[in-house]
RNA sequence: GGGGCCGUAGCUCAGUUUGGUUAGAGCACUCGACUGUCACUCGAGAGGUCGCGGGUUCGAGCCCCGUCGGCCCCGCCA
């Protein structure tokens, strides 16, 4: 790191940056009063800035009685201007828990330059004291952001942003900004709409992603593009979902899937290094979507632990066993996971796991224990003496099986698998298991209506081997689409795009978008593709999620300076809020009564 | 749209099971004492629309209905 001077006209050093090497220097500091200790004659203030804490001592002999009195009376979180001398602390008075704990400032003067009200929520907190309720922390965000944890998170976020820019810029990618006021897209998530004042009845939309713009930049010849793009989606929120969020948006021309994956993987490796978290050596493994669904029941498998899904349909096929018979007869399968050491799960825990399965849609979870090579109970009776081997159960293993169609059992097995891993603490600490999931299907098919929708987005190129399937069985066609998954969380995804306007039209047709609709919604893209489009593709990463993972946070709110609540409210600034009638008139908007 | 948990002093919580005198504790705050503390210590004090509205009851922080807000999850998020 380069040595930056934080000295200004009003201070010589940062509080938290003082060390033994500064001993003897006369310093002037500005900072927040973190905590005060008034011993009567002596007064100690812990002074805080973004670099950390430093102890300032006030002795009547050096600072004078007035300065001591002022130091004793200044309220927590006030900003003070202190002058003094850096002194080495006697051995017995050092504080090993402070990075500045070998020194203190012997103050000669103090001024209160920013007096503070008693803080609504505490900033300085004792070791065992609870954090204030998140509602209050969001309401008084300026105070909450003073806490060490959030300071560190936002400083990490800054470093990750800079590292991303440097990595991509060094790799020849150009940072190009795209509009925030853009065109509504009926596909995908709900748009945030912005009314136009000069065009009555017409609206802009905030972008869900810069997808079409970045493709047009490829058409324009900008080869390699990136953007730390703000995106907006008006959908219900979760701990890992905010209505506005930041994507690392990347697109490149004359590339294949492997080219995109190579760059993206190297970028992730760089960011994990910046975040100080281990990134596995060598190439990130790849798994097909079909494989992920078969072995883990999801398209974003957590590979920190085993518990792979096994198909035991054959063991039950010729057996009269009510739990499985109807499912098999209906063309379903019997699948489940085998848990080494699963015998330690209590009856109550197994009932809870059963409830997890049921809430995910299966009729129940079959529990099978192998003890001394023998499977007891109804399953043992039905399958016979070799039940354990037919189910692949090692001695002492517990099998949890469900029966039915894959589309039901996959999500159930996924949840059961995660639930068991959590109970048995199977995911090792500090381990990062990355995996590229590739060969996603082109489409999702609604079973009732038979309509197709794009799995990734409607500009995704079909897999060259599956183009022939588009005509008669498009729902079996794979796409050139890929996701990067870490420990069961999707970090980002992308695809090779369609660069041939004819292909794009045929995909629109499959999605039920007729020529006229395609023209009105995506005309500018189609026109671009007709103007000579290079083969291109890209990827987008959820930057906030990456920051969250690397900060060790459990909520996106802890890595965003001013986040929204789960109801998409901003408690600090109070948005959204009603506006004056006149403002609405200008926008040609009349409200229906919202009073009710 | 649905399910779950939560809302009592500035903050964190107890009190709600089984309705009953004046709603408690720790921290913070105010005042006082204290010259080596570092979550300083000690003494005293102040501080409450029990989220809000309605209902049941002789009586509601506690029971019922509604509502607002926060968090977690399902649906949703091309």
**What pLDDT sits at residue A321?**
86
Q: Which residues of A468-499 are buried (b: 16+ CB within 10 A; e: fewer)?
A: ebbeeebeebbbbbbbbbbbbebbbbbbbbbb
**What pLDDT sits at residue A2?**
55
Does the CB of A348 sit below 7 A from strand B?
no
Task: Show the domains of chain A with their CATH numbers.
Answer: 15-114 (2.40.50.140), 151-288+433-560 (3.30.930.10), 305-423 (3.30.1360.30)
Does the CB of A57 sit below 7 A from strand B?
yes
The answer to whether residues A98 and A51 touch, using CB atoms and an 8 Å cutoff, is no
C-alpha A447/C-alpha A462 separation (Å) is 21
Instruction: Tell me what the mean pLDDT of segment A79-84 comes to.
Output: 98
**What pLDDT sits at residue A380?**
83
**What pLDDT sits at residue A351?**
85
Q: Pick the range with the lowest mean pLDDT from A266-270, A385-389, A509-513.
A: A385-389
- Which H or E run contains A562? none
Check pLDDT > 60 for residue A594: no
pLDDT bin (cut points 50, 70, 90) of residue A425 is confident
**What pLDDT sits at residue A1?**
47
Q: CA–C1' span, A252 to B73, in Å?
A: 38
**What pLDDT sits at residue A346?**
83
pLDDT bin (cut points 50, 70, 90) of residue A596 is very low
Strand B contact nucleotides, protein CB < 7 Å: 1, 10-13, 27-31, 33-41, 69-78
Does the CB of A151 sit below 7 A from strand B?
no
Q: CA–C1' span, A130 to B20, in Å?
A: 34
Is the preceding peptide bond at A576 cis, omega within 30 degrees of 0? yes
Q: Which nucleotide is closest, CA of A53 to its C1'?
A: B38
Q: How many CB atoms lie within 10 A of CB A410?
A: 23
Q: Which nucleotide is closest, CA of A68 to its C1'?
A: B35
Q: Which nucleotide is closest, CA of A212 to its C1'?
A: B78
User: What pLDDT digit, counting tens, does each position of A489-503 carry?
Assistant: 999 999 999 999 999
Q: CA–C1' span, A41 to B42, in Å?
A: 16
Three-state DSSP class for residue A223: coil
**What pLDDT sits at residue A38?**
96
Give A20's DSSP letter: G
Check pLDDT > 60 for residue A595: no
Does the CB of A454 sit below 7 A from strand B?
yes
User: What pLDDT digit, counting tens, does each position of A286-335 carry?
Assistant: 999 999 999 999 999 999 999 999 999 999 988 888 888 889 998 899 99
User: What pLDDT digit, counting tens, does each position of A437-451 carry?
Assistant: 999 999 998 877 888
Does the CB of A78 sit below 7 A from strand B?
no
Protein residue minimizing CA–C1' distance to B70 = A135
Q: CA–C1' span, A33 to B51, in Å?
A: 33
pTM of the model: 0.94
Does the CB of A208 sit below 7 A from strand B?
yes
ipTM of the complex, rounded to two decimals:
0.93
User: What pLDDT digit, counting tens, does each position of A27-41 carry?
Assistant: 999 999 999 999 999
Protein residue minimizing CA–C1' distance to B26 = A129
The answer to whether the Cα torsion of A80, A85, A88, A89 is positive or negative is negative
- Per-chain mean pLDDT for chain A: 93
Highest mean predicted confidence (pLDDT) among A108-117, A358-367, A386-395, A508-517: A108-117
Query: Per this entry, what is the length of chain A?
Result: 596
User: What pLDDT digit, counting tens, does each position of A358-392 carry?
Assistant: 888 888 899 998 888 888 778 888 888 888 888 98
Give A147's DSSP letter: S
**What pLDDT sits at residue A593?**
60
Give A322's DSSP letter: H
Q: How many CB atoms lie within 10 A of CB A118?
A: 8
Long-range CB contact pairs, A269-277, < 8 A, 24+ = A270/A163, A270/A167, A271/A160, A271/A163, A271/A164, A271/A167, A271/A546, A271/A550, A272/A432, A272/A550, A274/A159, A274/A160, A274/A163, A274/A550, A275/A156, A275/A160, A275/A550, A275/A551, A276/A550, A277/A430, A277/A432, A277/A549, A277/A550
Q: Which nucleotide is closest, CA of A554 to its C1'?
A: B72
Q: How many CB atoms lie within 10 A of CB A162?
A: 11
Q: Which nucleotide is closest, CA of A121 to its C1'?
A: B11
Check pLDDT > 50 for residue A566: yes
Q: CA–C1' span, A392 to B18, in Å?
A: 54
The answer to whether residues A399 and A350 touch, using CB atoms and an 8 Å cutoff, is no
Does the CB of A131 sit below 7 A from strand B?
yes
User: Where would I find the H helices in A200-256?
Assistant: 211-219
Whole-number Cα distances in Å, A176 to A325, A390, A497: 59, 59, 19
C-alpha A401/C-alpha A87 separation (Å) is 68
Check pLDDT > 70 for residue A162: yes
Protein residue minimizing CA–C1' distance to B41 = A39
Does the CB of A189 sit below 7 A from strand B?
yes
Instruction: Tell me what the mean pLDDT of segment A561-575 comes to.
Output: 94
Q: Which nucleotide is closest, CA of A211 to its C1'?
A: B78
- Write the DSSP assignment of A446-503 as a string of letters: -TTT--EEESS-TTBPBPGGGTTHHHH-GGG-BBSEEEEEETTEEEEEEEEBP--HHH
Q: Find the helix packing angle between A148-170 and A543-551, rounded to 10°.
A: 130
More confident: A373 or A192: A192
C-alpha A508/C-alpha A518 separation (Å) is 7
Q: Which nucleotide is closest, CA of A565 to its C1'?
A: B70
**What pLDDT sits at residue A194?**
96
The answer to whether residues A538 and A211 touch, using CB atoms and an 8 Å cutoff, is no
Does the CB of A44 sit below 7 A from strand B?
yes
Does the CB of A209 sit below 7 A from strand B?
yes
């Amino acid at each position: 790191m380069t040595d930056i001077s934080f000295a200004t006209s009003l201070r010589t050093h940062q509080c938290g940056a003082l060390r033994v090497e500064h001993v003897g220097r006369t310093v002037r500091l500005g900072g927040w009063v973190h905590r005060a200790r008034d011993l009567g004659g002596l007064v100690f203030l812990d002074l805080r800035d973004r670099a950390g804490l430093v102890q300032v001592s006030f002795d009547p002999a050096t600072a004078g009685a007035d300065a001591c009195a002022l130091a004793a009376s200044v309220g927590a979180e006030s900003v003070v201007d202190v002058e003094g001398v850096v002194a080495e602390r006697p051995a017995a008075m050092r504080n090993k828990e402070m990075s500045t704990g070998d020194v203190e400032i012997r103050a000669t003067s103090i001024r209160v330059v920013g007096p503070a009200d008693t803080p609504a929520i505490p900033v300085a907190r004792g070791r065992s004291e609870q954090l204030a309720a998140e509602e209050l922390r969001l309401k008084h965000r300026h105070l909450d952001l003073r806490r060490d944890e959030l300071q560190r998170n936002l400083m990490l976020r800054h470093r990750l942003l800079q590292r991303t820019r440097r990595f991509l810029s060094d790799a020849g990618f150009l940072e190009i900004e795209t509009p925030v006021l853009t065109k509504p897209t009926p596909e995908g998530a709900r748009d945030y709409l912005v009314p136009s004042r000069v065009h009555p009845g017409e609206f802009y939309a905030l972008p869900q992603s810069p997808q079409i713009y970045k493709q047009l930049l490829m058409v324009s010849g900008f080869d390699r593009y990136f953007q730390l793009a703000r995106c907006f989606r008006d959908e219900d929120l979760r701990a890992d979902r905010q209505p506005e969020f930041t994507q690392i948006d990347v697109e490149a021309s004359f590339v294949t899937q492997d080219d995109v994956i190579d760059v993206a993987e190297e970028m992730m490796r760089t960011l994990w290094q910046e975040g100080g978290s281990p990134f596995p050596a060598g190439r990130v493994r790849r798994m097909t979507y079909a494989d992920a669904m078969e072995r883990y029941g999801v398209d974003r498998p957590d590979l920190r632990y085993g518990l792979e899904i096994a198909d035991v349909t054959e063991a039950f096929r010729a057996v009269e066993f009510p739990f499985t018979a109807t499912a098999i007869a209906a063309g379903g399968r019997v699948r489940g996971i085998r848990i080494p050491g699963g015998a330690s799960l209590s009856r109550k825990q197994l009932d809870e796991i059963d409830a997890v399965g049921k809430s995910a849609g299966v009729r129940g979870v079959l529990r099978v224990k192998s003890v001394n090579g023998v499977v007891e109970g109804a399953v043992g009776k039905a399958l016979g003496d070799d039940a354990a081997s037919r189910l692949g159960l090692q001695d002492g293993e517990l099998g949890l099986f469900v029966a039915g169609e894959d589309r039901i059992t996959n999500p159930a097995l996924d949840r059961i698998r995660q639930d068991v891993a959590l109970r048995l603490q199977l995911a090792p600490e500090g381990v990062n298991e990355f995996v590229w999931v590739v060969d996603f299907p082109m489409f999702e098919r609604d079973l009732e209506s038979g309509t197709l929708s794009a799995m990734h987005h409607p500009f995704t190129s079909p897999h060259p081997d599956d183009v022939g399937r588009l005509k008669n069985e498009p729902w079996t066609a794979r796409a050139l689409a890929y996701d990067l998954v870490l420990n069961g969380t999707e970090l980002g995804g992308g695809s090779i795009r369609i660069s041939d306007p004819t292909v794009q039209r045929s995909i629109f047709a499959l999605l039920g978008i007729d020529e006229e609709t395609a023209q009105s919604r995506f005309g500018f893209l189609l026109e671009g593709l007709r103007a000579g489009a290079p083969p291109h593709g890209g990827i987008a990463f959820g930057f906030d999620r990456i920051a969250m993972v690397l900060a060790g946070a459990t909520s996106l709110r802890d890595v965003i300076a001013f986040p929204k609540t789960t109801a998409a409210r901003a408690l600090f600034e109070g948005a959204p809020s009603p506006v004056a009638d006149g403002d609405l008139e200008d926008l040609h908007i009349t409200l229906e009564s919202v009073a009710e």
